[in-house]
Structure 1
Amino acid sequence: MLCTIMAQKGLREFLDKKMEEADKIAPQDRLFLHDGGLYPILVCQPETLKMLDTFEARSDDVILVGYPKTGTNWVGQILVELASASGKYDEEERKQRQQKENELSIRPYLEFGDPGKFERMKTLPSRRIIKTHLIPQKIPKSIFQKKAKMLALFRNPKDTAVSYFHFAKGMKLVPDDQQTWEEFFPDFMSGKVPYCLYFDYIIEWNKYMDDKNIMFITYEELKENETLGLKKIAEFFGFSVTEQDIQSIVGKTSFKAMKEKSLETHGKMGESLFRKGIIGDWRNVFSESQNEEMDRKFEETVASTKLGVMLKYELYCKS
């Protein structure tokens, strides 16, 4: 228990420090351009992005990929719990793992933090759980070369946009001219937000739909039947867990449970990370013209793709 508290304390202190730094960054300096994409200066460094390909993947790494605000914090915790239950670590092994992660000054995503992290990550015991928001062509090549298994997470674009807006505003990740929904929406639709245009993200990952080393899943699928979703994820990664393990993890990773512990686990950032956690909040935000614009964009870009069909747009994004 002491080790868990120490690991959480390390992450919480890092996140609280970032929240303090956000107030000191001039609005025009909050984003920087690298290799054609925008990134938040608060958590990313150009030097780290330049060194992404020095990351040495392992064949048993567990990789979670997902566009910002599609549920990666939630699903990342699910993976941690599945790995822990599957490994049945004794107290000493659990202590060693948590100490190692704490020494890393945990940067929650592969592209976050300083470039020296890639060397430090070599000291982590297997299986490592790694998260990223990157599109396929910017993922370190060694991940594909080692055939590490990836879980690709997607969420309906309307809820993604709304959640992204509230998070980016709360975290001061975007310039002042994106501080209202009316200002943020056109930039989201044109890709003038950290990482890229969400529809481009979907298009790029759609090219990997037949890759046997990548499992595709949606936020909505997990929300509607988390037990079944966890069983599919466990089977894909080869996590050996019991029915009792699954039910315990469902309880630990419910939105209510994670929100209640967010101050303890994520500090001040918890309020921005865990807002509502529901399907369909876009109905409270989108105007009629914005609805029509996104419906048209979806139809023109990804509606006919395998991944587009998987998103069940008619069900989740039509009034």
Structure 2
Amino acid sequence: MAEADLYFEYKGIYFTHFYHTPESLKYLEELSFRPDDIFIATYPKSGTTWSQEIVSQIMSGGDSSTAETLPYQDRTPWIEATQLADLHFEDRPSPRIFTTHLPYNMMPPSFYKVKPKAIYVMRNPKDVMISAFHYFGKRPIYADPGTLTEFLHKFLDGSKMPYGSWFDHVKSWLNAEDKEQFLYLNYEDMVQNLENSVARTAQFLDKSLDTEVIEKIAEKCLFKNMRNKVPDDSTNPIKSDDERLSELFRKGIVGDWKNHLSVEEAKYFDAVCKEKMRDVKCKWD
């Protein structure tokens, strides 16, 4: 299908018809948030599902009963998705957990007013691009990515990527005001030392957990263990459990881009990244 049939533009950003409608995005702008709400914000393919599980486990004190009975989209729903209005989230007790792929400057007015805590997870953009290339290629709700070289240029341009440019997205969150409201995590740090990332997140969320519980959560949320859990996602047009797992948890390794990009492509990517991110301090590997 053509991009025009799969995507629509809202405030200059591409969204998929499958997960969003102009009405759901307008509904989002009218939401009222609470100061103790928790947000997980990411650019797509940056460890979103992983982060959802980690935060859910932390807030439950390591109790997996809720995590094992409620699917991700019900426990930590996307605020911009069509399903949010059906979940009656306004009736849920605090603290509520939300997820978003929106850039910071597209968050609802209430978010800036009440200043809930937000966790922003970043990942090496080359690995994000490779993950998105494989993901889009296997899911019919996205436009055909074409060749890897074609997709690389599309990703670097960003104007026709769902949720917009990776560069604009990351900069919008890194440049947000009221820094005490945010915790910034790197995907690469999470892979290297998950216990430390769990401990940092728990501290940020004012959740007092002893060392044993932190270790337990980190073990449950190791990538190899996450792959063994099939999320109950009725909105995912994947036929089998194996296919569903391969889409949400493909490899999860750091530096997979080295297995796909030529030396010339990697140099070109780095040059564009350096130029676009010249005014922002960030690290990846």
TM-score, scaled to structure 2? 0.88
Aligned to 1:257: 225
Question: Any idea what SS the aligned residue of 1:151 has?
Answer: strand
Question: Is the Cα contact below 8 Å between 1:47 and 1:115 reproduced in 2?
Answer: no
Higher helix share: 1
Task: Give the letter aligned to residue 232 of structure 1.
Answer: R
Aligned to 1:42: 18
Q: Deviations over 1:100-119 (max 9, x none)?
A: x89x967831111246347x
Structure with the greater relative contact order (CA < 8 A, sep ≥ 6): 1 or 2? 1
How much does 1:144 deviate?
2.1
Question: Any idea what SS the aligned residue of 1:158 has?
Answer: helix
Matched, 1:121 2:121: no
Q: 1:117 to 1:146 in 2, by over 3 A?
A: farther
Aligned to 1:3: none
How much does 1:31 deviate?
1.4
Please list every run of 5 or more consecutive structure 2 residues that lacks an aligned counterpart in the other structure: none
In 1, the alpha carbon distance for the partners of 2:180 and 2:232 equals 38
Task: Give the letter aligned to residue 276 of structure 1.
Answer: K
Note the 1:49-128 alignment, pairs <5 A: 49-85=25-61, 108-114=77-83, 116-117=85-86, 120-128=88-96
Please list every run of 5 or more consecutive structure 1 residues that lacks an aligned counterpart in the other structure: 1-24
Aligned-residue CA RMSD (Å): 2.7
In 2, the alpha carbon distance for the partners of 1:275 and 1:108 equals 22
Task: Give the letter aligned to residue 149 of structure 1.
Answer: K
How much does 1:55 deviate?
1.2
Q: 1:124 to 1:240 in 2, by over 3 A?
A: same
Task: Give the letter aligned to residue 279 of structure 1.
Answer: V
Q: 1:77 to 1:114 in 2, by over 3 A?
A: closer
In 2, the alpha carbon distance for the partners of 1:30 and 1:277 equals 27
Question: Any idea what SS the aligned residue of 2:36 has?
Answer: coil
How much does 1:73 deviate?
0.6
In 2, the alpha carbon distance for the partners of 1:263 and 1:213 equals 30
Question: Any idea what SS the aligned residue of 2:80 has?
Answer: coil
In 1, the alpha carbon distance for the partners of 2:195 and 2:77 equals 25
Identity %: 29
How much does 1:121 deviate?
0.9
In 2, the alpha carbon distance for the partners of 1:224 and 1:140 equals 34
Task: Give the letter aligned to residue 174 of structure 1.
Answer: Y
**Corresponding residue pairs, total:** 277
In 1, the alpha carbon distance for the partners of 2:86 and 2:155 equals 30
Q: 1:153 to 1:115 in 2, by over 3 A?
A: closer
